[in-house]
Amino acid sequence: MRNTERKREPDMTAVLIKAVAFVSIIIMGYLLKRAGFFQAKDFYLISRIVIRITLPAAIVSNFSRITMDYSILFVCAIGFLCNCVTVAAGYVMYARRTKALRAFAMINMSGYNVGNFTMPFVQSFLSPVGFAATSLFDAGNAVMCTGMTFTLAGMVIGEEEKPSIKKAVLNLFSSAPFDAYVIMTVLSILNIKLPSVLVTIADTAGGANAFLALLMLGIGFEIRMEKEKMSHILRILVVRYILAVFMAVGFYFLAPFGLDVRRALVIVSLGPVSSVAPAFTGALNGDIETASAINSLSIVISIAAITAALIILL
């Protein structure tokens, strides 16, 4: 995979300034919500704009600047397998506990919030090649976190008899970012270029993705925890991030890809839990409040982890 325009390597100060800017946007969203400027329902409005407009546009924009190498398609499988590892870890960790706890851990320790969280970092610090690799990882990630993990967790507690492949496929292709991944990957492999006017539109809309995604995270940020649930929350997060660090180190030193792709794999592996985890937890009548706390805390941890990784790697 080759990119036609490569970003200049940022120094440590630039990385820290950008990370502070990202955190500031998240804090701004949170404070504006507390001040009443945003309502809880605004999270869903901005989420729809990000998922259906700005993120697909950013995918089109960045894929338009690369020539696809067939070997990079393996990154899709990596995204899928990383989910399998975290789902299995959640199951094993609570193997001797109730079925409900096993299902809870499977959902809330797996999945990667790539589109809303990781993409802004990648978009700002890595080349279009790194962005494309992140997108391909998310395509594999989406197979699990948009339905398959939920189905497996449902099987554990007895609400699903077998995985629904048809349902998973329909969920995937009803996702605008996933459709954009597939279309742009095929066009890149075939070396088919989009008209320049479409690329310009995508550049403009995609440029807003990072800001809106981070603002949305701030609006949705909420941590409400009961003391007796703290050990449960910490256990899941500690195991999740121990696995993430091992994956990140393994990808950087062992993956048979170029530097841009290996950097992207490090960043996505340190990303937070999938943003749909609390919703799927609720669908299985699980503890939504604890799931939301895990999700929000994973954002805080991932900001620190990805910033540290960028300082080391760039």
- Rounded to 10 degrees, the C-alpha dihedral 107/111/112/115 comes to -90
Residue 48's pLDDT is: 82
Residue 159's pLDDT is: 58
- DSSP class of 71: G
Residue 221's pLDDT is: 80
**pLDDT tens track for 7-56:** 545 567 777 888 888 889 989 998 999 999 998 778 878 888 887 888 88
**pLDDT tens track for 105-130:** 999 999 998 877 888 888 888 888 88
Tell me what the mean pLDDT of segment 196-207 comes to. Answer: 91
Question: Is residue 154 over pLDDT 50?
Answer: yes
- Alpha carbons 219 and 229: distance in angstroms, whole number: 24
Pick the closest to residue 62 from 120, 142, 146 (CA basis): 120
Residue 14's pLDDT is: 76
With b meaning 16 or more CB within 10 Å and e meaning fewer, what string describes 209-230? bbbbbbbbbbbbbeeebeeeee
Residue 5's pLDDT is: 47
Higher pLDDT, 179 or 248: 248
Calculate the average pLDDT of the chain: 84
Residue 302's pLDDT is: 93
Percent of the chain with pLDDT over 90: 30
Tell me what percent of the chain is helix, strand and coil, each rounded to the nearest 5. Answer: 75, 0, 20
Pick the closest to residue 62 from 137, 19, 124, 141 (CA basis): 124
**pLDDT tens track for 239-297:** 999 999 999 999 999 999 999 999 999 999 999 998 778 877 877 888 877 888 888 88
Mention every residue, 6+ apart, whose C-beta is less than 8 A from residue 280: 107, 149, 150, 153
Higher pLDDT, 68 or 88: 88
Residue 83's pLDDT is: 95
Residue 86's pLDDT is: 95
- Alpha carbons 294 and 110: distance in angstroms, whole number: 11
Question: Is residue 148 over pLDDT 90?
Answer: no
Give the DSSP H or E segment for 302: helix 288-313
Instruction: Give CA angle at 270 (269, 276), nearest 5°.
Output: 80
Global pTM reads 0.80
Question: Is residue 167 over pLDDT 70?
Answer: no
- Alpha carbons 199 and 188: distance in angstroms, whole number: 14
What angle separates helix 74-93 from helix 99-108, to the nearest 10 degrees?
Answer: 150
Residue 3's pLDDT is: 54
- Measure CA of the first residue to CA of the last residue in the chain; give whole Å: 20
Residue 186's pLDDT is: 84
Higher pLDDT, 2 or 16: 16
Q: What number of residues does the chain have?
A: 314
Q: What single-letter amino acid sits at 76?
A: C
Residue 161's pLDDT is: 53
- Alpha carbons 222 and 201: distance in angstroms, whole number: 34
What angle separates helix 128-143 from helix 74-93, to the nearest 10 degrees?
Answer: 50
